[in-house]
Every structure is written in structure tokens, then in C-alpha cells.
Structure 1
Amino acid sequence: MYKYSLLLGAAVCFGLSACAETTPVSTVSAIEMAGADTSVESRAARILAAMTVEEKVGQVIQADIASITPEEVGQYNLGSVLNGGNSAPGGGKVADPQAWVDLADAFWTASTDTTDGGLGIPAIWGTDAVHGHNNLQTATIFPHNSALGAANDPDLMREIGDVTAREIRATGIDWTFAPTLAVALDDRWGRAYESYSENPAIVASFAGPLVEGLQGLQGEDDFMIGENVMATAKHFIGDGGTQLGIDKGDTVGDLKTILDIHGAGYGPAIAAGVQSVMSSFSSVNGEKMHGSRQFLNDILRGEMGFDGFVVGDWNGHAEVPGCTATDCPEALMAGIDMYMAPDSWRGLYESLLDQVGSGEVPMARLDEAVTRILEVKIRSGLLAAGLPSERAATDVSLLGSADHRDVARRAVRQSLVLLKHENDVLPLQPGTNVLISGSGADSMEQQTGGWTLNWQGTGNANEEFLTGETIASGLTDAIEAIGGTATLSEDGTFDTAPDVAIVVFGEQPYAEYKGDVSDLVYEFEGGENLALLRSLQTQGIPVVAVFLTGRPLFMNAHINASDAFVVGWLPGSEGGGVADVLVADSAGEMRHDFTGRLSFSWPDNGVGEPINAADDPGVLFPFGYGLAYGDDGELSGLTEDPGVAATGQSFNGAILSRGDTAAGFQVYVGDSSNLNTPINGLAGESLGGAVTVAGVDYRAQEDARRIAWSGNGEGAFRLASGRSVDLSAFEDQILRLTWRIDQPPEGEVTLGMSCGEGCQGAVDISEALNTAPLNEWTETDVPVSCLVDAGLALENVQNALAITTASAAQISLHDVRFAQGDGSASCP
């Protein structure tokens, strides 16, 4: 039984929707403003009292625009929608700015419709505008956070927040999932570029100004209203401290240290009035953050004083042990107020409605979450904002405006870090003949990186960017303006020898998890970029290297092959900012000095062990390092040994031998809590406990691995390479496993290899496991061709073995290798 009273008369309602069918309901605006007490809390309480259970459940769920229609938002009374990194209006990668406004209108109209007797509470739209309104082709794209940390200018951050908010509002959207306040301590993490610094002080100094730039100032009439949007502090907490930099991994340590480091930005953000906090995918000391009442409630609210609402990350609730994407009361009970359920929203709605009805989820907790969401919507002016297209701040012509781009260009030049400068090669002088080379010189895709036009930032052609300019374009304009000549040649070839060459190169775009690496070697000996630098150097041409990267990487050989080495980071759409610093004025004087300083320590090897202090082993350039034009930039020859063996460099076909992985490969286990938990040593377990690994004896002490699946959800055992390896030479061979079946499975078990997202080949080996002799060591051969026929591309293998099952099972594995078969093996 559910009881609620309406402003226009009290009613007691039996069943979940009786009142909505029989009692007249006023609009939400009339209800919230009808009482004498006009405080936010009282207004929210009046709305809550008039809501049906269905409306309450809907308010705590957020769906992705690619998986829901405006009509469904209205039907289910959902509280929010988002556009994921690959979701644009119309279902394509990108859409015209007006299409964003039109869809915002459609969601507003559907969510505020009261013809079904509901209250018509507006849905709020959230977007990942993490370095500008980065899904829009005409938007101003700012440098990624690791670059901004090098600029170390809190006032600049406030300006960036202000510009980003104006461009978000220009398309009718209300809310951004920014800023990211991670303190990245391990540069192997694929989201390291989302962190401003390894130093908590820089992150803390940026948090308040950026939130104020996005939201406006608390107490002012335009706080979150007009050209301001709601901000999100994310990802709470510890996302930058996971072991080995594994995305969605585990941060281990004592509570005080974790709060001092990884919580540094949250206090200032909360003090600035941030209205939403996003929970991290990661765990702290083995506890998933989406299921941690200690952190989400006791610490975030009780100790830090946060008074907004907590939103989950993309189906992050599904990774709480015992949960699925469509069934997770544990997350709500822990402190998640709004589930981010992009494609799982319908099933989650139904299960949560049942759980409230049964009492499994207390009404008091649901009311608490809904109240927090309502209070934020009231503070933000959303309830009275009106149709997005009719708001004063909605104006798509503001996207990429000249004054907005000026701020971004300034951010580029302030973030550039000079690590080496010899022979006075910079700034480029009037009349100089310059060769502009490298894969990144004329690539908007490379300079903007991940989270640009799509999630991973890949596949973006220059012509898809309708605002901004490439680094090559900016350099050419500046060089020619002072009487020089500029020739663009990506591969470095030329007809007339140049006076100097600028080589722009770096990382290809990536985002979370795809960007995770096992070492920090940019490229090994023989890499094409290193070859280009050395070729120019050998020809006696002075070389300026501009390195595009989201994080510090081992670059010693490249630095040795350059006269000047500039860290360009991921500068965004305004490539001309690079030329502002590298090219002199007509009198031969610098136009802007190098003011960027490293906000991350730079490594002297490629191993990837965290380096976060000047005296840590393996530091080449410490935090805070960076040259100005007047500094001595001489640098003696650096060691070129990365300390890491290239995957496949001496690969003889043995992936696992006597229980140990071959060089370049590592054991990983995974389950719904974390797909990529590394096993260091012989023993370990997946974060959710679905898979455990331990050493076991075969012919010698612990020369095999015992892999046990609990049967509590799907789990995987993998032998993975830190970078792709070409195994095409083994296509005509068999994959031979020397193993012992200790407990046969009851369900399906697959064996496979993978070559990236959506690229894999797998076969069902359940029958082979069930017919093999129990508790006896045996050999099983699987033709590699079976995996190729199932979709594997051997030229780009990342997981050289993956055994996956949801069934309870136990296998001891001694050896896995490619071998010549005798033709008798067939596909399982």
C-alpha cells in the first residue's frame, strides 16, 4: 500500500497507479510553488508528496538517448537522459547542432507532458563535455586535462568552464559530467589524460574554479541558470590510483592516504557548490564504489558535506557483486541516487518497482534519492526553464565562436612543455625554410584525442571538424607571415633540403580501458617515428619534435634524435597555439615563451612503475620541470634501453611454459566487477571472486596454474599481451594446451583469442573438458584455423588465450603453445 497526498486534496491510494487514474493532479510547478515556504527543501517535499511510486522510480533512472525515445521518457517518467560517447541525435556519430536542440525539445516536451495525469517533472540531460562540448563538430575543443595541468592556471580553468557551459547551453543541454578530479598515479592507466596531475594540490586548485566556471557562483541569480550548467565531480573515489593502472581496478591503501590524495579535489568542488558527484567504476580495498555506503554516504555526505545527488557511471551498478545491469538494489542502498542505466533502464525500472513494492527497497531510501534529485532540479531552475529552444542561452551560432577559440588557443600555448633545446633552433626565425612532417602534423584526430566526436576519438577525418585548425595549418600561417616557407610532408621526404624540420607525432586516440597499457614504451627500436627523426638528423637537418600524448611515455631515443623536444599533449582543436610559441615574430623575437611545466613525472624507462616524486627510481624529468627560452636546454645522450622486451621480439610460440607467461604476456582474470585484474605472481583472484588462480605442482614445484571458476557469474582467465602482437605465422598450426581437468564444467566453456573490441575467435570446449580423463595431465590441440574461421585476426592479437565460463569448474594449466600438428586435430 502506498499513501500520498495531493495539493488539491488528500487521497489514500491502494495499488501503484490508482491515484494517477482517479485524482486530478496539478502541474509540478504549481505544486512546488503553492506553499508559503519557498525554500528548496519545502518545494521538493511538496512535489515528492504528490508523486506516484512509478514517478519516483523513474526519477532515479537515467537512459541513453540511443536506447530510449522521448515518448518512453514520458511514459516511464525517467528523471534523466544522457548521450554516451557514441550517441548523437539521429543515431549517427555526429549530428547538426540544431538536431541536438530539437531532441532536447522532444525530451522536454515528453517528460513534462501531464495528459496521463502525471506531474510532468522535466528530465535533465547530461553529456560528457569533458574538454569542451566535444561531441559537436562546431564546438571549441580544449586541451585534455593532462595538458591543462601543465598550464597550472586556475583562472584559465574558470574561463574554460565558462566557455564550455555556454556551448553546452547553446544546444539546449543542462548538465555536464565534468570535471574529472582523478589524481593519476600510474601513467599506464588509459584515462591518465583525464587527470590534471599526479599532484593532488594541482587537482584541488582547479576543482573550485572549474566548477564555478560551469555552474556560476553560489548565491548569484544565475547559479546553474542561463548560460551556466550543472557540473559533476567524478569519479568518486580512487579512480586514478588503481593497481597497475587498470581501468575499473582496485585502489589499495589506508583510508587517510586515499582521502588525502584521491579526495583532494572533492572538498573544493563541494565548497563551490557542485551538484552532482559520479561514482567511480573502480574499487577501494576490494569494495566496488557503486556499492560502498562508507564512501558514498558516510564520507561523501557525512564528512565532506555534499548535498547534491550521486549518479552512477555507465551500468556501473552491474559490477557490484550480486548485481546485474537490470537488478541492483544494493547500489541504491549504498548511496547511488541516480542509476546510469543507458541500455538497461527498462529492466532496472521494473525490478526496482518490484523491490519497492515488496519492501526490499525501503520507501524512505527511494524518497531520499528522489528528494535529492528534485532539490537539484529546483536549484538549477530546470522546473521553470521552459522549452530548450526558447531559452535565451540556446544559440548554436555560439559554438566555436572566435572568443571561445581564443581561450582554447591560449590554453594550448600555456600547456606546451619544452624538455630539450639545443643549437637555438627555436623560435623559428623569419625567412626560414621549414619542413612540417609526422603523422600528427595535419591530423585533427590525433591532436584532439579520445572523447572527441565519439567515445574513443577514432576514425575522425579532418573535414569532420567544422571548427579549429591543425598544427600544420597554424605553423604554415605563422611561418609564411614572417617571410618563411613551409612544406607539409608527412613522411619527411623533400625536394629541397629545409633549414629545419618540425616533426609532429604521438599517440593514436583512445579512451578508457582501450588506453590501458602494460608499459610506457611509446615505440620500440625500429618504430617509424623514431626512424623519421633519425633520418632527418643523419641528413644534418635540425629537428624539432612535437610529441602529442595524453601522458608521459618513455621517449629517450626520440629526445636524443631531436634538437628540441616539445610535449604538445593533446591540444584540442586550436593547433595554432603551437605556432604561437614555436614561431618568432617578424623581428625574430619570441611571441610567447614556454610556460608549461610537467604536472606528471617523466620516465627514464618504459617499465611503467609509478613515479610520483623526484627521487623515485626511473624519473628523467621530475614534476614541475620545463624549460623557458632563456634556460640552458642542453641534454647529454640518454639511455635508450626501455627495460622492457617487445612483445613477440623473441617469441617462439610458447605463451605459457611451466606455468610462467612468455615475455610480453601476463595472466589476467576478470568478472563483472572487473574484466582486467592482473595476477602478479602465481596466485590471485578476480575482483568479484568468480575466478581464482593458484600455483600447483606438475613436474616441478608450482610449474602450473590452477584456475577455479566459482560458478557465481561469468569469469575469464586470459593470457594477454600489453600491446598487439602479430601471430599470423602460426595460422597453419595448432594451439596445444597441457592441462589437467580437476572439476569438469556443467555449462558452456569457451576457448578463444581476441584482437580488439568486436574482434575475436572462440570455440566451445565443454565437450573436450567433459570427456577428458579426470585428474590426469593430458594434451588438447585446437587448430588455430578454427579461431580464424570464428573471426580472429591473427595480425593484431591482444589476448593469446581466453577461457571463459559461468559454470563452476577447475582446470590446472601447465603449458600453452603453438605447435605443428599432425593433421588429426579438428575444431571442437
Structure 2
Amino acid sequence: MTTAEKIGQMAQAERGAIDADPAQITALGLGSVLSGGGSTPADNTPAGWADMVDRYQRAALATRLHIPLIYGVDSVHGHGNLVGATVFPHNIGMGATRDPALVRREEQITAIETRATGPQWVFAPCFCVARDDRWGRTYESFGEDPALVTAMTTAVDGFQGTRPGDLAGPGRVLATAKHFAGDGDTVYGTSTSGTYTIDQGVTVSSRARFARIDLPPYVAAVRAHHVGSIMPSFSSVDWTDDGVGNPVKMSAHAELLTGVLKKKIGFKGFLISDWAAIQQLPGTYADQVRASVNAGMDMFMEPYSTPQFTRTLAAEVAAGRVKISRIDDAVRRILTAKFELGLFEHPYTDRRNIGTIGSPAHRAVARQAVAESQVLLKNSGHALPLKPSAKIYVAGANADDIGNQSGGWTVTWQGQSGNVIPGTTILQGIRQRASDVTYSADASAPVSGQDTGIVVVGETPYAEGVGDVGNGHTLNLSGADKANIGKVCSAVKTCVVLDVAGRPQIVTDELAETDAFVASWLPGSEGAGVSDVLFGARPFTGRLPVSWPRSEAQEPVNVGDRDYAPLFPYGYGLTTRR
């Protein structure tokens, strides 16, 4: 390979940058293309995806060496960019299940549905350990305890398989453990300019604490599950051991990327940078490229800057500031993954599983996941399970909004309210179980005559950055949610509140008004899984994956803290199992 061909393999472009002219893939010899959140073909169908990926693949195979490209996508809770895919609960709900085997099965289904449409690589699973619920990505974490997150590294096996040759099969994809490391452990605060800082912030930690809290899931992902790629975090680490206050961005953290991850832990796959992440490093663009490559980064997600990246890295190599041995190491890692995926033998989309996308069998697994994820936090007088014969009054916008119950990373990056994907809302699930159901989103319909109320409160969709508390979001319930609880719970004999949200919300004052309170998290496309436990078809078995705070000001609160007094402790969860 020429130096230019090697550098091309290290570059990844966004489909939006090359879709109008895929010949850029050939000209630059690009190694990879991705779809960012919400970046879809105009025909957002399984066939539309497969046709798009194959069109790009033809351009890659037109290069001198005919090296196939690898296509990446954010399948973080199912193949969420695809309308019609099975959408699972977000990771925080899966953490509540305490079921590593179910997580493995979820990701196997996600792999089947993703690869059938073309992409062979997913930017999942997220192994962040969420230590502060004010972080807008809390729902992408399996929980606050590194032991729980480590247990869920079975997700890698679901994506990749466990036997030699599995990756080349039609139902497997290369997994990405992200975001290495400490992205859920950053310090909450405000900068001197007044902007909010927690996402992409700074993890202030000793090396010993970092090894105890933030590294364990990655050790397991590498050593036990042989994860194929890892994405370093946008965030920085500031070692308290050094005592100098010198935060270093993970994209250029040679000690952690090469010294710890590749050498000490033994990672053999390749590192992929996050979206234009190196452009947050200090200095000129050449400084940024050089620092990250030399720190150990292998492939560069430079969505709209790939021509500049390839030119810049070529100049750095020619000047001797980046050794060709470092380039060779990166390219060997990337090509190894492509060989293991079977792309040299079968570069085009194997569409044999297209008919399984969103199938009843796949949705049944998602429905099981929803049921297992529900955490019963209060059940006075055995209010739950409900009787199908009960006269039920349902209130709250989140009861009948599949977009809200799916959250971010669903069709679009931030997600959106409304009828955005096929599936079953929580209200539809309730109506499958009970025949006498009145629904009023704002509780304006008369409540008299009903003996049971179900109030569905919670959040509207958001994703990274936007969802951080302080950026227009709060852990507190909305005024409308509080009003619905007050109006309905004061008028019925039995009042059940469901919280559909990506993290705990502050319900300390409202809890006394309720007979039963359930953390429903973000269940995804199968809202009927919620009604399965409400009506006793399945028992409540979920347990809190994070501590539930008494107030927003109590954050961060984590199990093991010296003065630990949350509203509900980590691991809490009542059961209705008889």
C-alpha cells in the first residue's frame, strides 16, 4: 500500500458529505463512511439503506486495491435510524433488568436488523458509568455501579458473536465500546463564559479511582469479549495524583489510549474518534491530527473534513512528525476488522434477514425487555397489579406518545415527540389489557366514575449536550405533570404514576399522593411491556440501576457515598411476584 492508500483507510466521512458524489470515496480511498444520528437515505426503508451502502461500496471497490469500506451507524437501542426497526429500551432500562443474557439477545437482534440493511459496524454499546443524573446521556448508561455496567458487557457478544468466524455472518456487526473512558464521571459546573459543563467535560480523578470506577467495563469488553473497536470520549481527564490541574482530552491521551488500553489491557482492535472530536484539541489542525495519531487513534471520524484530514496527515508523515510505523499499526488494525467481517469476500449487503426487521419475534423480545426494566418503587396496599375489569382513567401526554417513550437516538439524533416509529404506546398496551379506559392527556376530561387512575409523567426526547440539566432541562417534574398527578390522584381510589424518562426525576413531594409509583425509563417501541406488569401478566422484577435523588441539588448521589441518603437507594425495587 502507498502512504496515501494507508491514510485513506484511516479516514471516515459522513454520508451527507459524499452522497451526491460517491466518487470521493474512490478518489480519497476512504476506509469508512458513517450515518450520524438522523442521517438516513431519502428512502428510509431496509432496501433504501442497503442500496445506499452498496452504492458507496462500489465506489470503494473501484480503488486500485479494491479495499471494501466499513459502514458505521448509531444502533444504540436497536437500528434506531431506520423507521420500522425494533426499538429496545435505552441502556438505563436494560440495566434495571439485571439480565445480561437479555442484553446479549437484544444486541443480537439489533445486529441482525442492522447488517441486513448494509451497515456492518455499530457505535454501541455505551459502557459509561453514569455518576451524575444531570448528565443528558445518563440513559445511555447501564447504571452508576461499574460492576453492573461490567456485567452488561455481554452486549458485545450479541453484536459480534463469540466464535471465530461469527463476525462474517449475516447477523453480526462490529461493536464499539464507548466512550473511553470517564464520560459519565465528569464534573458538573459552569465555565467562565457561563456555559454549562458536564457533557464533554472533565473527569477529575486519581488513577486508582479511575481504575476502580471508569475502566472496569472496558477491561471486560476487551479481555472477555474481544470488542472490535473502541471510541475515545470527547471528555478530558485531570489526574489529581499530579496535582497540577492539567486536563487532557481523551482524543490525545497517549497514557490511556496506548499505555493503558492497547498495552496494559491488551486491546487488539482499532480506535475510532468521535464526531470531529480531534478538532477540540489545542493548536492548528495539523497539531490536532498529529497529537491524536501519535496518542494511538487509528481511524478518524472527520465527517465533513476528510479531504483536509488526509492531506494533513500525509504532510505530517512526510515531515517525519508521524512515524510510518504508527500509520502501519493503525491500518493493520482496521484491515484486520474488515477481514474478520468477511468484507473482502462478500463486500455487498447480505439481505437475507431483511424480512425479520421489526418482526413479531423481535418485538416480543423487546416487549420482554420493557417488562423486565420496570422498577416498582411504591405499592401501597398492593395497588398493583391492576384488575382488567377496573374502570381506568389515564392521563399524561407520555401515555400515548411513542416518540416520547423512545427518547433520543430514534430516527433523529435528538429524537422527537409524536408518531415517529411503528410500535405500541403505553396507552395502547393498557387498552389491550382493560376494556374500560378513558384517556385525557391533560386530565381535563371528567374523572368521576373511574376507580383507578394511571398518570404517565416524564421527559420529552433529547440527546447529548442538549439534555444536560442547565441547558433548558431539569430533573424536576413539569408543572403539567404535577397538576395531572394532583387532579387524578385526588379523585380516584387507586392512583398509579409511571415516570417515562431517561433518568430519575424529582418526585419527593408527589410520592405521598400516589398509591403506586413506577420507573418506566424509555421503553422504546413496545409500550405493551409496561401494561404486562401493571396487570400482572409478568411480575415486577426490575431494580434501580442508579440512586434516586431526593432533590436535584443532591446530585451526584451514588451508592457507597459517605453520606448516602437518596429517596430510593441503588438496587431498590419491589416485586409483585407471588
Common fold by TM > 0.5? yes
The match for 1:623 is 570
Tell me if the contact between 2:501 and 2:520 (Cα under 8 Å) persists in the aligned partners.
yes
1:549 aligns with 2:501: yes
Instruction: Please state if 1:287 is matched with 2:248.
Output: yes
The answer for the alignment partner of 1:427 in structure 2 is 385
Find 1:214's aligned residue among 151, 159, 174. 159
Question: Match of 1:103?
Answer: 52
**Within the alignment, does 1:112 sit opposite 2:61 as a pair?**
yes
Secondary structure of the 1:620 match is: coil
**Could you tell me which of 215, 222, 233 is aligned with 2:177?**
233
Could you tell me how far apart the structure 1 residues matched to 2:474 and 2:2 are?
57
Deviation at 1:497, TM superposition (A): 2.5
Q: How far, CA to CA, are the matches of 2:433 and 2:388 in structure 1?
A: 10
Where does the alignment leave 5 or more consecutive residues of structure 1 unmatched?
1-50, 584-589, 632-828
Q: Which residue of 2 aligns with 1:81?
A: 33
Aligned to 1:544, the other structure's residue is in SS state strand
Question: Cα deviations across residues 395-450 of structure 1 (Å, max 9, x unaligned)?
Answer: 43221011111111000000100111123322111321111210100001110000
Q: Does 1:140 align with 2:91?
A: no
Counterpart residue number, 1:765: none
1:449 paired to 2:394: no
| Residue matched to 1:598 | 544
AA aligned to 1:453 is: V
Question: Residue 629 and residue 514 in structure 1: after superposition, are their counterparts in 2 closer, same or farther (change >3 A)?
Answer: same
CA distance in 1: counterparts of 2:367 and 2:285, whole angstroms: 44
SS of corresponding position for 2:24: helix
State whether structure 2 residue 427 is matched by structure 1 residue 492.
no
Instruction: Indicate which of 184, 199, 202 corresponds to 2:145.
Output: 199
Say which structure, 1 or 2, has more relative contact order (CA 8 Å, 6+ apart): 2
Partner of 1:437: 395
Cα distance in 2, alignment partners of residues 529 and 567 from structure 1: 15
Provide the rounded CA distance (Å) in 2 between the counterparts of 1:52 and 1:421: 67
Query: What amino acid sits opposite 1:180 in the alignment?
Result: C
The Cα shift of 1:378 comes to 1.2
1:327 and 1:347 in contact (8 A); partners too: no
Structure 1 position 307 matched with structure 2 position 268: yes
**Displacement after TM superposition at 1:617 (Å):** 4.2
Aligned equivalents of 1:235 and 1:521: distance in 2? 24
Structure whose residues are more often strand by fraction: 1
Q: Give distance in 1, aligned partners of 2:50 and 2:311.
A: 30
What is the aligned-residue identity percentage? 42
Name the amino acid aligned to 1:210.
A
For 1:158 and 1:342, the matched residues in 2 are separated by 30
Q: What RMSD over aligned residues (CA atoms) do the two structures have, in Å?
A: 1.8
Pairwise CA distance, 1:618: 4.3
Q: For the Cα contact (< 8 Å) 1:425–1:563, is it kept in 2?
A: yes
Structural mapping, 1:492-641, within 5 Å: 492-495=443-446, 496-518=448-470, 522-523=475-476, 527-583=479-535, 590-613=536-559, 616-629=563-576
Query: CA–CA distance in 1 between the matches of 2:480 and 2:285?
Result: 45
Counterpart mapping for 1:360-371 below 5 A: 360-371=321-332
The whole-number CA distance in structure 1 between the counterparts of 2:370 and 2:492 is 30
Give 1:603 deviation, angstroms.
Answer: 0.7
The Cα of 1:184 is off from its aligned counterpart by 0.6
Q: Which residue of 2 aligns with 1:461?
A: 418
**1:301: Cα distance to partner?**
0.8
Query: Aligned partner of 2:216: which letter?
Result: A
Q: Kindly tell me: are residues 197 and 523 of structure 1, through their superposed partners in 2, closer, same or farther at Cα, counting changes over 3 Å?
A: closer
TM-score normalised by L of structure 2: 0.93
SS in 2 for 1:277: strand
Aligned counterparts of 1:364 and 1:231: Cα–Cα separation in 2:
26
SS in 1 for 2:367: helix
Q: Distance in 2 between matches of 1:579 and 1:263?
A: 37
1:681 matched residue in structure 2: none
* Counterpart Cα distance in 2 of 1:132 and 1:418: 25
Partner deviation per Cα, 1:63-104 (whole Å, 9 max, x = no partner): 1101113221111100001100031113xxx71221101111
2:334 paired residue number: 373
Distance 1:327 1:99 in 2: 36
Letter in 1 for 2:157: E
Which one of the candidate residues 262, 270, 274 is aligned to 2:214? Answer: 262
In the TM superposition, what whole-angstrom CA distance separates every residue of 1:140-190 from its partner, at most 9, and x where no partner exists?
000001111110101101101110100011101100011100001111111
Q: Is the 8 A contact 2:540 2:577 kept in 1?
A: no
Distance (Å, rounded) in 1 between the aligned partners of 2:429 and 2:285 = 49
Q: 2:374 aligns with which of 416, 436, 456?
A: 416
Is the aligned partner of 1:297 residue 2:261? no
Q: CA deviation at 1:508?
A: 1.0
1:218 aligns to what SS in structure 2?
coil
Structure 2 Cα separation of the partners of residues 308 and 231 of structure 1: 10
SS at match of 1:382: coil
The change in CA–CA distance for 1:490 and 1:372 in structure 2 (over 3 A counts) is same
Task: Report the number of matched residues.
Answer: 556
CA distance in 2, matches of 1:319, 1:494: 52
The SS at the match of 2:397 is coil
* Largest Rg, 1 or 2: 1
Q: 1:237 to 1:523 in 2, by over 3 A?
A: closer
Assess if the C-alpha contact under 8 Å between 2:388 and 2:433 holds in 1. Answer: no
- 1:58 maps to a residue whose letter is G
In 2, Cα distance between the equivalents of 1:540 and 1:512? 39
Between Structure 1 and Structure 2, the one with more helix by share is 2
1:630 positional shift: 6.5
Q: Is the 8 A contact 1:317 1:325 kept in 2?
A: no
Alignment-derived partner of residue 12 in structure 2: 62
How much has 1:325 moved relative to structure 2? 9.2
Q: 1:521 touches 1:607 (CA, 8 Å); kept in 2?
A: no
Whole-Å separation in 1 of the counterparts to 2:423 and 2:285: 42
Residue in structure 2 matched with residue 665 of structure 1 by the alignment = none
Distance change in 2, residues 1:591/1:264 (3 Å):
same
Matches of 1:147 and 1:456 in 2, distance apart? 18
1:415 and 1:597 map into 2 onto residues whose CA distance is: 8
What is residue 124 of structure 2 aligned with on the other side? 178
For the structure 1 residues 425 and 532, does the alpha-carbon distance in structure 2 shift closer, same or farther, using more than 3 Å as the test? same
For residue 230 of structure 2, give the secondary structure of its aligned residue in structure 1. Answer: strand
The separation in 2 between residues aligned to 1:347 and 1:550, in whole angstroms, is 38
Contact 1:323 1:330 in 2 (8 A): no
Mapped to 2, the partners of 1:374 and 1:608 lie a distance apart of 48
Amino acid in structure 1 at the alignment position of 2:167: F
Q: CA deviation at 1:323?
A: 4.4
| C-alpha separation in 2, matches of 1:248 and 1:196 | 19
The TM-score normalised by the length of structure 1 is 0.65
Secondary structure of the 2:438 match is strand
- Partner residue, 1:14: none
Residue of structure 2 in register with 1:349 after alignment? 310
Shift of 1:565: 0.5
Matching of residues 776-791 of structure 1 within 5 Å: none
**Cα contact 2:112–2:353 (8 A) shared by 1:** no
1:187: which partner in 2? Answer: 133
Match of 2:244 in 1: none
Post-superposition CA distance 1:482-524 (Å, at most 9, x none): xxx1122111133453111111120111110111114995336
